[in-house]
Amino acid sequence: MIKLRSFHGGVHPPTHKKESTQSPIMAAPLPAQLIIPFRQHAGEAAKPVVQVGERVLKGQLIGEPVGPISSSVHAPTSGTITAIELQQIAHPSALPDLCATLVSDGLEEWGVRQTLSYRQLSSDELQKHLRRCGIVGLGGAVFPSDMKLRHPTVVNTLVINGAECEPYITCDDMLMRERAEGIVRGIEILRHALGTDAVLIGIEDNKPQAITAMQRAVDESSHPFKVVAVPTLYPGGSAKHLIKVLTGVEVPSGKLPTDVGVQCYNVATAYAAHRAVEHGEPLVSRIVTVTGNVEQPRNYEALIGTPFSELVELSVAKADTNRYIMGGPMMGVELPAVNVPLVKASNCVIAASDVLFPPPPPAMPCIRCTRCAQACPVELQPQELYWFAKSHNFGKAQEYDLFDCIECGACAYVCPSSIPLVQYYRYAKSEIRARDHEKRAADLARERHEFRQFRIEREKQEKAERLAQKERAAAEAKAKAAATATVIATPVDPSADTDDTQQMRIDAALARAKEQAATTPPKNTETLSPAQRAEIEAIEERRAHIHELAADAGADDEPPKHSQGN
C-alpha cells in the first residue's frame, strides 16, 4: 500500500457522474461533414498539406506540425476536402480559426496504417511516431505527447491520471471500465519510452468500477503497475496535484514534472498511444461525454471534427436548454455556437439551462472572508489577486504569484460574494502577457533603431572617406594632367549620384506613375501574358504566406500550460 499525501484546499462540488455512466460508450454515427481545426494542440497550429478538392483517406495527414511544440492533424474519415478556411471553433473568444471541411463519402476507407512493435523501438523513434500520429494530452491541456517523452533528467515514476475530478465528465471513467486492457498496453508503451520503473495509476475513489477494471487489466498483463484509489477532491486531477498525492513530490513552480523525476499522462492519452503504436491509428476520434440537460446522457466515441450539434441531437437536449459548455462546469468554456466541431481537447459537452446552472447572483464586493484562500489548491491568496486584478495593478498581481493559478475555479465556487474571480485572473494574465509581448517588441524596435543609427553613421563616414579619396585621386590626376599637358575628361562616377539627379529621377517616376494612374486602371498587370500572370500569382501566394508567417511569428508566445492532467 502506498502512502497518500494531500494538498491544501480543494472543494467537493456535486459530481453528477451517475447520469452518464448508466449506458456503455456508443459509437456516434458518421456525420455528413466534418470540420477539422488545424490548431487542436498546445503550440503552433499545424500547416495544411492537402488541397481543396482533394480526396483523403481515413487517417491521412492533412496538417503537419510546425516547429518543436506542435502536432499533426489527420482526416478522421475518408472523403473530400471541400474548403480550407476560417471557421468558428470552440473557444471563449468566438473568433474563427483555420479549419478544413471534409465531406465524408461514408466508406471509412483507411489509409496506410503502420503498426509497430514498441519493444524494438527507441524512445526517439516512438516520439516521432506519436508526433506523426498527432497524439496529444487528452486530459484537457492537449500538450503534444511526444514532447513529454523528451526529458533531460532521469524519470523514475510514471503517474497515470485517471482521477477525472471535474463534475459531470465521465469519459475517462467509461474508457477505463470498457477498455482497460488497451489503456494498460498504452501505459506500458509510454513506460518503455520513458524508461521508468514505477507506474502509479491514480483514480478517484468515486469510480469503483473503473478501479476494479483497471486492477483486473493490470493483473492480467502482469506488469508491476499500481492502481491507487485517491480521495475524491476537486481539483485532484490536476497533474501536479495528483503527483503530490501519489508521490509526495511537489513540482516546483514554473518547472515540469520531469524536473523532479515524474511524468504524468492521462488514461485516454495512454489509450491513444496504444492505438497509434499497435494499430497504427492516428488520433482521429475520442470518447466524449454528453450530459447535463439532455434526455439520454451518455458517452460517445466520436470522430474529431464532428459538430457538437450532432452529438447533442443523439442525446436529445431538453427544451429549456439555452447554452452548451465544453468541458466540465468548473473549468469548461461556453460554446459560441452548438455546431462548432469536436476537437482533441473536448472531453465533455454539457447542455445547460438556467435551472441546471442558475446564473450567478450579482457580484457583491469582496469581504476578504478568505474562503477562497482556504479552497485554493495552489495556496494563493485569491482575495488579494482579485483586488489587484480589479484595480489593474498587474505588477502586484504577479508578485502574488498570479501565474501559478491553475484557473480551477475552486475560489469562485466558494465565494460568498459571487465574484467571477477566475475571469479576473484570466483578464489579468492575458493583459500581462500582452504587455510582455509589447515590451519585447519595444526592445527589439529599440535595438533595430540603434543599429540603424549606427549604420547611417557608418555609411556617412564611409562616404566621407570615399569622397576624400576621390578628391585626392582627382588632385593627383590634375597634377598628372598638368604635368603631361594632356586634356582628359574625368569620367563621371555613376555611383556618385548627386541629390539633384536623384530628385529628378523620383520626379520622373512620379510623373510616370501619375500618368499610369490617369490613363490605365491601377492594375499594372493588365497587359501581361498568361504565363507571366501565373508567375505573378505564384509570387503573390508566396508573399501572402510570408505575411502569415511574419504575423504568426512571435504572436503566440504563451508558455505551454500543464493544468488538467494530460
Partner 1 sequence: MTDYLLILIGTVFVNNIVMIKILGLCPFMGVSKKLETSLSMGAATTFVLTIASGSSYLVNHYLLGPDLAYLTTLSFIVVIAATVQFTEMVVKKTSPVLYQVLGIYLPLITTNCAVLGIPLLNVQAKHNFIESLLFGFGGAVGFTLVMVLFAGMRERMEGADVPVIFRGTAIAMVTAGLMSLAFMGFSGLVK
Partner 2 sequence: MITALWIMIALAALLGMILGYASIRFRVEGNPLAEKIDAVLPQTQCGQCGYPGCKPYADAIAKGEADINLCPPGGEEGIHKLAELLGVEFKPFGEDAQPKPKAVAFIDEQICIGCTLCIQACPVDAIAGAAKQMHTIITSECTGCELCVPPCPVDCISMLPIEEKLTNWKWRYPVFELRQTS
Partner 3 sequence: MLSSPFITRTLSVDRIMLRVLYALLPGIALYVWYFGPAILVSIALAVTAALATEALMLKLRDRPLRPFLSDYSALLTGVLIALSIPPLAPWWLPVVGTAFAIAVAKHLYGGLGSNPFNPAMIGYAVLIISFPHEMTHWLSPQDMGHSALSLGQQLHYIFTSTLPAGMQLDALTMSTPLDTLKTQLHLGMTVSDIRDLPIYGRLAGKGSEMVAAGFALGGIYLLIARIIPWQLPLAFLGTLFALSGVFNLIDPAHYAPPLFHWFSGAAMIGAFFILTDPITSPTTAKGRILFGMGAGLLTFLIRAYGGFPDGVAFATILMNMCVPLIDAWTQPKVFGKKGSKR
Coil, strand or helix at 417: coil
Give the residue with the Cβ less far from partner 1, 350 or 397.
397
Residue 139 CB, shortest distance to partner 3, in Å, is 16
Residues 359-378 that bind partner 1 (CB under 8 A): 365
The three three-digit cell numbers of residue 71, written as one number: 502536432
**8 A C-beta contact, residue 207 and residue 227:** no
Please say which residue, 44 or 384, places its beta carbon nearer to partner 3. Answer: 384
Interacting positions 349-368 with partner 2 (CB under 8 A) = 362-364
Spell out the residues 6+ positions from residue 481 whose beta carbon is closer than 8 angstroms to its own: 487, 488
What residues are paired with 234 via a beta bridge? 11
393 touching partner 1, by CB under 8 A = yes
> Which region, judged by CB under 8 A, interacts with partner 2, from 71-79, 180-188, 377-385, 417-425?
417-425
Residue 510 contact among partner 2, partner 1, partner 3, none, beta carbon within 5 to 8 Å by kind: partner 2
452 binds partner 2 (CB under 8 A): yes
- In the sheet that 157-162 helps form, which strands lie side by side, from edge to edge? 226-230, 198-204, 157-162, 262-266
Q: Please name which of 284, 291, 301, 346 lies closest in space to residue 178, comparing C-alpha atoms.
A: 301
Contact present, 322 and 405 (Cβ < 8 Å): no
- Other CB atoms within a 10 A radius of the CB of residue 530 amount to 7
Grid cell digits, residue 250: 511537489
Element (H, E) at 413: helix 410-414
| Residues 494-513 within binding reach of partner 2 (CB under 8 A) | 506, 509-510, 512-513
Helix (H) or strand (E) holding 358: none
Sign of the CA dihedral with 471 first, then 474, 479, and 480 last: positive
Q: Is the separation of the CB atoms in 338 and 313 below 8 Å? A: no
Residue 413 site contact among partner 2, partner 3, partner 1, none (CB < 5 to 8 Å, cut-off depends on kind): partner 3
HSE toward the beta carbon, residue 177, CA cutoff 13 A: 16
Between 68 and 97, how does the x/- string for binding to partner 2 read (CB under 8 A)? Answer: -----------------------xxx-x-x
Give the H or E element holding residue 421: helix 421-484
**Closest Cα partner for 366 from 355, 381, 378, 351?**
381
Q: Segment 8-27, which members bind partner 3 (CB under 8 A)? A: 8, 11, 13-14
**Residue 331 binds partner 3 (CB under 8 A):** yes
CA-CA distance, 65 to 89, in Å (whole number)?
19
Interface pattern 233-262 for partner 3 (x via CB under 8 A): -------xx--x-----xxxxxx-------
Q: Is the backbone peptide bond immediately before 235 cis, with ω within 30 degrees of 0?
A: yes
Decide if 134 contacts 207 (C-beta within 8 A). Answer: no
**Least separation, in Å, of the C-beta of 426 and partner 2?**
4
State yes or no: residue 391 binds partner 1 (CB under 8 A): yes
**Residues of this chain, 169-188, that bind partner 1 according to CB under 8 A:** none
**Residue 387 within binding range of partner 1, rule CB under 8 A:** yes
Site for partner 3 in 399-428 (CB under 8 A): 400-401, 404, 407, 409, 412-418, 420, 422-423, 426
Report the residue number, 25 or 242, with the smaller CB distance to partner 3: 242
CA distance 304 to 288: 10
Q: Does 110 bind partner 1 (CB under 8 A)?
A: no
**Residue 388 binds which one of partner 1, partner 3, partner 2, none, with CB within 5 to 8 A depending on kind?**
partner 1
Among 225, 324, 388, 425, binds partner 1 (CB under 8 A): 388
By CB under 8 A, tell whether 398 contacts partner 1.
no
Binding segment for partner 1 (CB under 8 A), chosen from 390-398, 415-423, 507-515, 521-529, is: 390-398
Per-residue exposure over 444-459, b if at least 16 CB sit within 10 Å of its own CB, e if not: eeeeeeeeeeeeeeee
Q: Closer CB to partner 3, residue 214 or residue 373?
A: 373
Q: Which does 393 bind (CB under 5 to 8 A by kind): partner 2, partner 3, partner 1, none?
A: partner 1
- Tell me: does residue 378 bind partner 3 (CB under 8 A): yes
CB of 79 or CB of 377, closer to partner 3: 377
- Within the chain, what is the greatest distance between any pair of CA atoms? 113
State whether residue 58 is helix, strand or coil: strand
- Out of 451, 477, 520, 542, which residue is the one contacting partner 2 (CB under 8 A)? 451
Closest by alpha carbon to 425, among 404, 441, 445, 439? Answer: 404
The string of DSSP codes covering 521-543 is -S-TTTT--HHHHHHHHHHHHHH
Binding site for partner 3 (CB under 8 A): 7-8, 11, 13-14, 92, 94, 167, 240-241, 244, 250-255, 325, 327, 329-334, 336, 352, 357, 359-362, 364-371, 373, 377-381, 383-384, 400-401, 404, 407, 409, 412-418, 420, 422-423, 426
Residues within the interface to partner 1 (CB under 8 A): 365, 387-388, 390-391, 393
Query: What is the contact surface with partner 2 in residues (CB under 8 A)?
Result: 39, 91-93, 95, 97, 362-364, 420, 423-424, 426-427, 429-431, 434, 438, 441-446, 448-449, 451-452, 506, 509-510, 512-513, 517, 522-525, 543, 547, 550-556
